[in-house]
Amino acid sequence: MNIHCKSNEVPVQSIPNSERMRTLKDIFMVEFGCNPSFFARVPGRVNIIGEHIDYCGYPVLPMAIEQDILVAAGLLDEPKLCIRNVNKKYESFDVKINTFEELQIENDQNEKPNWYKYVLCGIKGALEHLNNKKSSGVQLLFDGNIPPASGLSSSSALVSAACLSFLYAQKAHLNKTEIASLCAKSERYIGTHGGGMDQAIAFLAERYSAQYITWQPLKATPVALPEDATFVVAHCLAEANKAATDDFNQRVMECRLAAKILLKVSNGDKNHKITTLREVQETLRTTLEDMVNLVHKQLPKDIYTKDEICTLLEVSEKELDSLYLSPNTKHFKEFKLKQRALHVYEEAIRVESFRKVCLEVLRDEKIRKSNGTNGSDKTYENGNGNKHKTLEILGKLMSASHESLKNLYECSHPNLDYLVDLSKKMGIHSRLTGAGWAGCIVALCPKDKTEDYIQMLKEEFYSKQCNVDKDKAKHYVFATSPNHGAVIFK
Ligand code: ADP
Ligand code: NG1
């Protein structure tokens, strides 16, 4: 039940009477000797299409999943932060909190950050937002079930849960878009230059529909997914922590450099403010299709050396490092600009096509329901069983997205490719979801094939390839549907 819920604020609901909440409360009592004052829940997400384009300014299409980070929070009189995890593999950490400037989150480059540093990111961002004004310290006990480092946004759920609970403890009121933007900014303290999709869907998600997320200003528009489709997530049994390698930032920087060069060679503009591929499209007032042609024309080489980029942009290496590169990408001597920019513009086209088809399906379903008819031949192919043409169109867009991520963006993993190929043999289209380099695929499955598909993956991948028994495999492969966003329980 909602205790209070302005539509644009994070809802405050009464505490669910569940085993998990009771256990969390009991462990909180053991850890801190008192009851929690409130709880916060932030979901993970699966991105249906639109990968590695949020940080280039393009819309994406994620939905929240059932798995989440749940945190129990207590208030402290002293300015202190006590961080605990139900899972003892995640160590405890206590720290004094005075100002956000003093809260250090330095990470050794290319080392996996300690988990509590993601919590510190959320607190640092919140403190900065509050201009260091705080009324209490906090005790936080976390319990998460999002597969970590697997492209389902466990890190952002953790950062967001920390930021949300700290702000709530200080009685600060932010609307959902404000807090989503704040959490996106906060997570960058870990060192990765993400775009904001994960934090946006964490707060703006709604039950029953995916969200078409657009930027500047941040906005989420619900997109109803076809009723006869199920989205299945399958873990490839490899993990990759984004902050532990320079791969993620390298891609972000390559897109940034491609944007600078495209703008410079197209209209001689050295405008340092423009850094995203979308801003270039907007400045040139042209279509995504024209941007694809422009990339072929203006970025013809497979590899650009740092020297070549400096010459093209008329900057010194020192300027290039300080103006455009992150600390962990300054050492790179070669960059792939054509491939990355092509992926981004073509993926942005795929997102638009996917959304358009979903809108058409919805419109047809509405017409069908109001007419009491069984649908038009345009949308449904009745000749060959109940094969759904629309799902095939959407599926093909997902397959094309995977091919592009594998070949142009080079962020796949052999296990992910194996899962995608295995799915294709059964006529199911799928793609890697999230950052990649490991993690999960998301597959679009006709509802009536879902059980057979999951069964096939359990046998052919988890059992035969990875020796995982069927009971355990259910944690790695599951059907999912759009869930709601973050809540406070009190
Ligand atoms: P993702 O793609 O899931 O966001 P990242 O590589 O960005 O993956 O971040 C994963 C990291 O988040 C983990 O290595 C861990 O430090 C932290 N994390 C995720 N889930 C939890 C959890 N339940 N408890 C503690 N830390 C977690
Ligand atoms: P994951 O690693 O799946 O949570 C990351 C970025 C997103 C987006 C995707 C790729 C962060 C926190 N998340 O998501 O913004 O760029 O990769 O589409 O950086």
Residues of the chain with pLDDT under 70: 1-6, 373-388
Dihedral angle sign, alpha carbons of residues 3, 142, 153, 335: positive
pTM score: 0.95
Residue 364: predicted pLDDT: 83
Residue 247 known to be catalytic: no
Total residue count of the chain as it appears in this document = 490
The residues facing 95 across adjacent strands are: 81
Ligand nearest to the CA of 49: 2
179-215 burial string, b = 16+ CB within 10 Å, else e? bbbbbbbbbebbbbbbbbbbbbbbbbbbeebbbbbeb
Q: Are 97 and 127 in contact (CB under 8 A)?
A: yes
Q: Answer yes or no: CATH 3.30.230.10 is held by domain 1-222+247-372+483-490.
A: yes
Which residues fall within 8 angstroms of residue 425, CB to CB, at 6 or more apart?
A: none
Segments making up each domain of the chain, as ranges:
1-222+247-372+483-490
Q: Whose CA is nearest to atom 27 of ligand 1?
A: 115
The minimum-distance atom of ligand 1 relative to the CA of 151 is 2
Residue 58: predicted pLDDT: 98
Per residue in 195-240, pLDDT (tens digit) is 999 999 999 999 999 999 999 999 999 999 999 999 999 999 999 9
- Which of 242, 252, 326 to probe ligand 2 with, by most ligand atoms within 8 A of CB? 242
Residue 125: predicted pLDDT: 98
Residue 387: predicted pLDDT: 43
Residue 389: predicted pLDDT: 86
Rounded Cα–Cα distance for residues 462 and 456 (Å): 9
Find tokens 């980070």 and name the residue. Answer: 69
**Residue of 198, 247, 364, 448 with catalytic role:** 198
CA of 159 to the centre of ligand 1 (A): 9
Residue 80: predicted pLDDT: 96
Rounded Cα–Cα distance for residues 180 and 292 (Å): 31
Residue 174: predicted pLDDT: 86
